[in-house]
């Protein structure tokens, strides 16, 4: 027996509101209070209300809209990956790139994407709980790229960040460095895995701890101050969250001779993809394999009916050492 489709009237009756108010709340209209919008949205999720037909109801021969979500124009990693994804997907799908001002995949962005009949989303950002519920209830294919998502129903393709940290720890140990540190954000999942790998291996090799320098500031002065303090404390090996952070430390090293014995390692090996970027030691991986996996996973989600095994893929990493 088919389940009755939930309507605006059903939501309105549940909340004792008018159909017009419910409709305007779900469309995020300015004249509806944020409190009312939140109540209506949560009730809609609870009742499994859908704004449109699920993706499977559309003919696959029609080009579907796929959006790519990231949060920074400053990091070349995103442009590199977007370029590779677009190359693989442009002939099969309509593509749109969505920059976000947040470090998580927000509900408001997903809701608007869904209303515009987005068939699937590729995101470099982790969804918050509200976003996860909306995606689950409305059956939107979501592929998380570069983050190990704990939500079992979501596809995620990511690098082995923990092992990356282990490799860097062994590198610093082989160089005879006595004291190392990690610098990066403490609110990004892959950053924490990189640190944990570094810390675990360094503890095994030296029985010493590794300081975590929390920094995700774009301000050069803030980063320079943190690096200077670390160096004064005896740090001679610095593992940076990504190459963009490492480049800033590298520039400080070039302009101030006091850092001559500071060893720097980044993450993403951007120089391998953009030769004009500084050539530094960095944890790398196969960019093409990463993009291929996303393409294959997306095709599987949009071509097939029924249950498909969730993709949880961890890519191996290596250490590129600057000569």
Residue-wise pLDDT tens digits, 122-163: 999 888 888 888 887 777 889 999 888 777 678 899 999 999
Are 165 and 272 contained in the same domain?
yes
Q: Are residues 173 and 198 in the same domain?
A: yes
| DSSP class per residue in 33-81 | -HHHHHHHHHHHHHTT--SS--GGGS-TTSPEEEEEEES-SS-HHHHHH
Decide if 55 is inside a domain.
no
Range in 90-94, 101-105, 217-221 the model is least confident about: 217-221
pLDDT tens profile 215-230: 865 555 667 888 888 8
Same domain, 186 and 211: yes
- Do 199 and 267 belong together in one domain? yes
Q: Is residue 276 domain-shared with residue 171, that is, in the same domain?
A: yes
85 Cβ neighbours under 8 A, 6+ residues apart: 68, 95, 122, 291, 294, 295
| Range in 48-57, 169-178, 208-217 with the lowest mean pLDDT | 48-57
Q: Which domain holds residue 85?
A: 63-158+287-315
How confident is the model at residue 254, as a pLDDT? Answer: 85
Report if residue 3 sits inside a domain.
Answer: no
Same domain for 138 and 166?
no
321 in a structural domain:
no
Residue 1 lies in a domain: no
Is residue 118 domain-resident?
A: yes
What's the residue count for the chain? 323
Domain count, the chain: 3
Is residue 101's pLDDT more than 50? Answer: yes
Q: Are residues 99 and 179 in the same domain?
A: no
| Residue 58: per-residue pLDDT | 42
- Show Cβ contacts of residue 284 under 8 Å, excluding neighbours closer than 6 positions: 268, 269, 272, 317, 318, 319, 320
**Residue 214 is part of a domain; what is its CATH number?**
3.40.50.2300
For residue 243, what pLDDT is reported? Answer: 95
Shared domain check, 293 and 154: yes
Q: Is there a single domain that holds both residue 211 and residue 116? A: no
Domain shared by 169 and 149, yes or no: no
User: Do 175 and 276 share a domain, yes or no?
Assistant: yes
Tens digits of per-residue pLDDT, 250-303? 988 888 888 889 999 999 999 999 999 999 999 999 999 999 999 999 988 887
Q: Is residue 132 part of a domain?
A: yes
Residue 1 has pLDDT above 80, yes or no: no
Is the residue at 226 inside a domain? yes
User: 248 and 303: one domain?
Assistant: no
- Supply the Cα-derived Rg of the chain in whole angstroms: 23
The fraction of the chain above a pLDDT of 90, given in percent, is 41
Give yes or no for residue 27 having a pLDDT over 80.
Answer: no
Cα-based distances in Å from 108 to 129, 138, 184: 13, 14, 27
| Position 323 in a domain | no
The residue whose two tokens read 């995606």 is 135
For the chain, the average pLDDT equals: 85
C-alpha span between 249 and 264 (Å, rounded): 8
């Amino acid at each position: 027996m088919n389940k009755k489709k939930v309507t605006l009237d059903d939501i309105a009756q549940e909340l004792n509101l008018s159909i017009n108010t419910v409709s305007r709340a779900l469309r995020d209209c300015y004249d509806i209070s944020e409190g009312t919008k939140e109540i209506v949205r949560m009730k809609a999720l609870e009742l499994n209300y859908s704004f449109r037909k699920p993706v499977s109801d559309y003919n696959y021969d029609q080009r579907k809209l796929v959006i790519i979500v990231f949060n920074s124009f400053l990091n070349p990693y995103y442009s590199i990956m977007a370029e590779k994804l677009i190359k693989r997907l442009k002939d099969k799908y309509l593509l749109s790139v969505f920059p976000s001002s947040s470090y998580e995949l927000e509900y408001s962005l997903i809701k608007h994407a869904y209303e515009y009949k987005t068939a699937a989303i590729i995101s470099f950002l982790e969804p918050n709980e509200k976003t996860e519920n909306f995606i689950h209830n409305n059956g939107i294919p979501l592929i998380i790229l570069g983050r190990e998502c704990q939500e079992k129903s979501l596809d995620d393709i990511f690098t082995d960040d923990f092992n990356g940290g282990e490799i860097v720890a062994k590198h610093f140990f082989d160089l005879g460095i006595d004291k190392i540190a990690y610098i990066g954000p403490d609110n990004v999942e892959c950053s924490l895995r990189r640190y944990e790998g570094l810390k675990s291996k360094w503890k095994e090799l030296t029985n010493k701890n590794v300081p975590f320098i929390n920094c995700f500031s774009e301000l050069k002065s803030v980063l320079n101050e943190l690096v200077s303090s670390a160096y004064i404390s005896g740090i001679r090996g610095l593992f940076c969250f990504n190459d963009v952070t490492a480049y800033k430390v590298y520039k400080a090293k070039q302009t101030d001779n006091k850092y001559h014995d500071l060893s720097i390692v980044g993450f993403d090996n951007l120089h391998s993809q953009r030769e004009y970027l500084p050539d530094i030691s960095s944890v790398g991986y196969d960019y093409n394999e990463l993009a291929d996996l996303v393409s294959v996973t997306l095709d599987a989600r949009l071509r097939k009916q029924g249950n498909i095994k969730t993709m949880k893929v961890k890519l191996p990493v290596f250490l590129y050492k600057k000569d």
